[in-house]
Chain A
């Protein structure tokens, strides 16, 4: 019985790390760690993950700070203990990419510019503290790494490794401390400063410069435009001065073009998370060319620049349009997904209509490639659901793959329980057995904390509607999942991953699914996955349950496509008669603006009030909302 197996499993080994890292980097499937070598099964009662913050002091220990490794020793430590999964060609290279060995061991240059250094450092700190506490993990992100040492002697070097990191990369360590230092594990990035007050406005001259630099790209535009009198330059940037600067610049065609390129372009790139197209999408298969990846990073910003004057901000996300170049048009072919995008001339952009399957921004190659996952992967498209949520709401859900699962789960809404995706990972080591949740309905079955994201923030539904898309955003049709022997495209491109998941028990990396009684395990096979895809032919494949009456199937909003899924998230319960719909997306915009233009993580009530007012009074268009934001005291506030 499943209940008998309902034990948390924590494991070691590379196959385990596949699950861990993918889930950690994406939205959290709870307790989905699994592995194959030297596994350790921990009884639930014996392991209560600590929620205590890991501080710098914790990392250093008390007075006995370990002697730092030399750089040569530290790099070798990374190669020996992280290389098995993170070197090029290894399964987790996309999560934290190590360079080839010769570069890795040469010097620290590659690590200096690595954006994930802070996470790597914190993962080692977490491991160090976990070792001291004699647990496998701390139950907070990032997962303690490495999960397994090459030898016991290696494990004793970890303290020295952390000390080396502190000595060598103090900035990364500080960033790690700021980012992870006092976080609760389930914290989402919802920071609103309710008591914000600007104590001192900058001068008109500084405000003019600030707008020129932040919104137009270069400070010297302030000199060229020279919109203020000497008296205004010297005065605090009051409302009139701010308005004069913003309106003055945007009345000029030259600066308006720069405003589109810098203010709107950079905002759209950030909202689309386009940096991850290269950072995470480079190793996705089937591969997308570097030139196409470069263009995909601008895919959404090009669309926004084209439509921001005519279409409301929330509706831009729902447009069935995509902008293509000669490099990206082939990714939207009739054979691929039903589009027929003509290839434009080199270095130009053209608009193309998306197929029903891709539907809108959330079905574009750019969005999908920024979060490479699929129904075959451990992440099971939860990351794409989480990214959809954060794109719209401006809240980044914190992955909680291996933390506490909370109280006993509430009953899963009937309208969600339609899918066959009740996959679990099964494990038997010695006499002990255990399972870890994986499938769209398996994870909410695990606990209340898991339900917080997988039901309440609709990751379960996302897992269903994103099913037709592969790692690189390619469309997966049932025909592509053949029973033919062999693993290679085009005959059977997904056989290798399916066979890995359905490997025999002795390989200790199995995936089973259960029937509705939750008592029968069966190995997954090609038919299982074809059935998952066929589910989308049912208009009621998944749903958004009614919050107050989740078991009432009639009240639920049904969905079987990205179109319906995204529309429901963006419009929420906005009446169709509303003057402007999509307040959820403006909520997100209010959180992105300070981050992009002020480098502030928190938004505040002044920004929210100004932007919401512009949204409601100006038909939801982006430009008036940006004007409102740039005219706030918040944007004109002195850092002194």
Chain B
């Protein structure tokens, strides 16, 4: 495919604008549909600008996106364990719990319990267990990948315990946000990460817990997080 095209993907509350460049590379911007929150928009700008500068998916060499195994390991290691579990309250039809910012985010086709959310979307996330002997994998940031990643991000954010300041996924302070960025994208230079962390923390420290969850999900849906350096 050549030329430029745009399309959107993602779960119920997010969209990813994907631009395919003439050289076959893909440029991605993750944005929130809900632009009412300045904090979130600010976060988007900061992350988005950095991301677009640092990440041009050229398809030259293979350090493009995390496959399903590495995505799971990364989330478990850089955030908390057990954040990938599918809970009943995530499924459409479940009543939202305003105090926790938790609302239904998954379609009815994804039942609660059982395999984690990465496992369920493993084929869209370049499942290395199904990659053939001479095939390469995880080579492009496909629309399927973006959609699956956004859903994984939503589940992680839903499970994050924002009431617990010690939770690793809690991005509500400058220090907490910085630690998340350092651990989840350790190739990012320390000198630049403080500025991004500030914006990230701002979006995570709002009173509305639902917005906190959106901010965390936005980061986890970004191409910076998806990239495997």
Contact = CB atoms under 8 A, between A and B. Distances in A.
Interface residues of B, number: 46
Contacts of B60: 639
A269 B130 CA distance: 9
Contact of A599 (B24, B64, B143): B64
Given A210-B229, A217-B69, A113 B144 contact: yes
Given A390-B134, A639-B60, A218 B128 contact: no
Interface residues of A, number: 57
A127 B165 CA distance: 61
Given A213-B229, A219-B187, A600-B62, A275 B129 contact: yes
Given A113-B124, A599-B62, A637-B61, A171 B142 contact: yes
B63 A599 contact: yes
Interface string A580-610: 0000000000011011011111000000000
A189 B136 CA distance: 12
Interface stretch (A9-17, A220-228, A305-313, A570-578): A220-228
A275 B187 contact: no
A274 B144 CA distance: 23
B128 A266 contact: yes
A408 B73 CA distance: 56
Contacts of B33: none
Interface in B182-229: 182-187, 189, 228-229
B186 A115 contact: no
B1 interface: yes
A394 interface: yes
A179 B73 CA distance: 30
A113 B151 CA distance: 15
A195 to B, nearest CB: 15
A205 B24 CA distance: 28
A212 interface: yes
A205 B187 contact: yes
Interface in A257-295: 262, 266, 269-276, 278-279
Contacts of B183: 220, 223
Contacts of A297: 129
Interface in B34-64: 58, 60-64
B229 A202 contact: yes
A396 interface: yes
Contacts of B185: 219
A592 B134 CA distance: 7
A174 B130 contact: no
Contacts of B63: 210, 598-599, 639
B130 A278 contact: yes
Contacts of B128: 266, 269-270
A304 B60 CA distance: 31
Nearest to B187: A209
B87 interface: no
A275 B74 contact: no
Contacts of A640: 58
Contacts of B20: 170
A213 B189 CA distance: 17
B123 interface: yes
Contacts of B133: 270-273, 387, 390-391, 396, 592
Contacts of A219: 74, 77-78, 184-187, 228-229
Given A223-B186, A269-B128, A218 B136 contact: no
A279 B127 CA distance: 12
A174 B64 contact: no
Contact of A213 (B74, B139, B142): B74
Given A218-B74, A219-B78, A174 B1 contact: yes
17 contacts: A113-B123, A219-B185, A219-B229, A234-B189, A262-B69, A266-B69, A269-B128, A270-B133, A274-B129, A275-B129, A275-B130, A390-B133, A599-B139, A601-B134, A637-B61, A639-B58, A639-B60
Closest 5 CB pairs between A and B?
A599-B62, A275-B130, A209-B187, A218-B77, A218-B73
Interface of B: 1, 5, 20, 24, 58, 60-64, 66, 69-70, 73-74, 76-78, 123-124, 127-140, 142-144, 182-187, 189, 228-229
